[in-house]
């Protein structure tokens, strides 16, 4: 049973650039959530996608956008990168109406 | 006040000790309570998931929820060096879109000494 996968594993970008992170949910899951985790902090909710629509959004600026595809995979896009965007970006999948989230290994983004 | 409060530690215990990890919360709308284990530079791994007040046991792990006090705990019996990790509590509540809103604690770093 394939778990949640994310790509790439690591990424280094320069301030002002744009980045796209990718996530494939656990087999059978249809809901994808994205989180930002700074060093020494808990995951902070960015947004959640179900049926290719953004269903919930956390307190993140419009520079953060996403997309969900018909196969339930998802992308997180961040524009105009800031140094403060450096973090571990986590994708979690679940079943809509189900409450158990499973996380991927994360993408570590470094902005220089 | 944060919705979920968790002592960041670090907490150091000798091998074989019983570990107690705790979180408090302020939002009485939270209905579901979870504990995740996160090893360094890895994604969180779901350990325990509970709904109602009371205890739930799984091997060496016991999750306890007290909704009246807005307090949850995770107990680890016979702790092992391999239990050394950051433990995150998480809570969720249903939303109008039919999904769930999750809030995480900051995590407690645990080190079990051999």
Handedness of CA B98, B107, B52, B62 (dihedral sign): positive
- Residue ranges and CATH numbers for the domains of chain B are 4-113 (2.60.40.10)
Beta-bridge mates of residue A49: A32, A54
Model confidence band, residue B54 (pLDDT cutoffs 50, 70, 90):
confident
**Which chain A positions have a beta carbon within 8 Å of B106's beta carbon?**
40-42
B99 contacts A31? CB cut-off 8 A: yes
A97 contacts B92? CB cut-off 8 A: no
Nearest to A9, CA basis, from A104, A76, A79, A77: A104
B41 contacts A103? CB cut-off 8 A: no
- Residue ranges and CATH numbers for the domains of chain A are 5-111 (2.60.40.10)
CB burial of B40-66 (b: ≥16 within 10 Å; e: otherwise) equals eebbbeebbbbeeeeeeeeeebbbbbe
**Which chain A positions have a beta carbon within 8 Å of B103's beta carbon?**
45
CA distance A17 to chain B (A): 24
A97 contacts B43? CB cut-off 8 A: no
Please give the angle made by the CA atoms of A50, A98 and B45, to the nearest 5 degrees. 95
Query: pLDDT at position A1, please?
Result: 64
pLDDT above 70: percentage of residues in chain B: 100
- In tens, the pLDDT along B1-44 reads 788 999 888 999 999 999 999 999 999 889 899 999 999 889 99
Query: pLDDT at position B21, please?
Result: 97
Successive 10-residue mean pLDDT values, chain A, 112 residues: 91 98 95 94 94 92 97 97 98 84 96 98
A103 contacts B43? CB cut-off 8 A: yes
HEC-encoded secondary structure of chain A: CCCCEEECCEEEECCCCCEEEEEECCCCCCEEEEEEECCCCCCEEEEEEECCEEEEECCCCCCEEEEECCCCCEEEEECCCCHHHCEEEEEEEECCCCCCCEECCCEEEEEC
B8 touches chain A (CB under 8 A): yes
A68 touches chain B (CB under 8 A): no
B43 vs A33, A42, A104: nearest CB: A104
């Amino acid at each position: 049973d394939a778990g949640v996968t994310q790509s790439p594993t690591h990424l280094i970008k320069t301030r002002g650039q744009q980045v796209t992170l990718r996530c494939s949910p656990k087999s059978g899951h249809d809901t994808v959530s994205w989180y930002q985790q700074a060093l020494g902090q808990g995951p902070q909710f960015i947004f959640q996608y179900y049926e290719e629509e953004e269903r919930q959004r956390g307190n993140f600026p419009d520079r953060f956008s996403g997309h969900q595809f018909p196969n339930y995979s998802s992308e997180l896009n961040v524009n105009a990168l800031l140094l403060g965007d450096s973090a571990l970006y986590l994708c979690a999948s679940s079943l809509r109406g189900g409450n158990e989230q499973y996380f991927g290994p994360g993408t570590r983004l470094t902005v220089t | 006040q944060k919705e979920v409060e968790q002592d960041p530690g670090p907490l150091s215990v000798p091998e074989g000790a019983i570990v107690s990890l705790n979180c408090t919360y302020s939002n009485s709308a939270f209905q579901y309570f979870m504990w995740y284990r996160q090893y360094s530079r890895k994604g969180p791994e779901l350990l325990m998931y509970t709904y109602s007040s009371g205890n739930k046991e799984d091997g060496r792990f016991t999750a306890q929820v007290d909704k009246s006090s807005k307090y949850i705990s995770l107990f680890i019996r016979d702790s092992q060096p391999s239990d050394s990790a950051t433990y995150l509590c998480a809570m969720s509540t249903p939303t109008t879109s039919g999904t769930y809103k999750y809030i995480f604690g900051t995590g407690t770093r645990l080190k079990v000494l051999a």
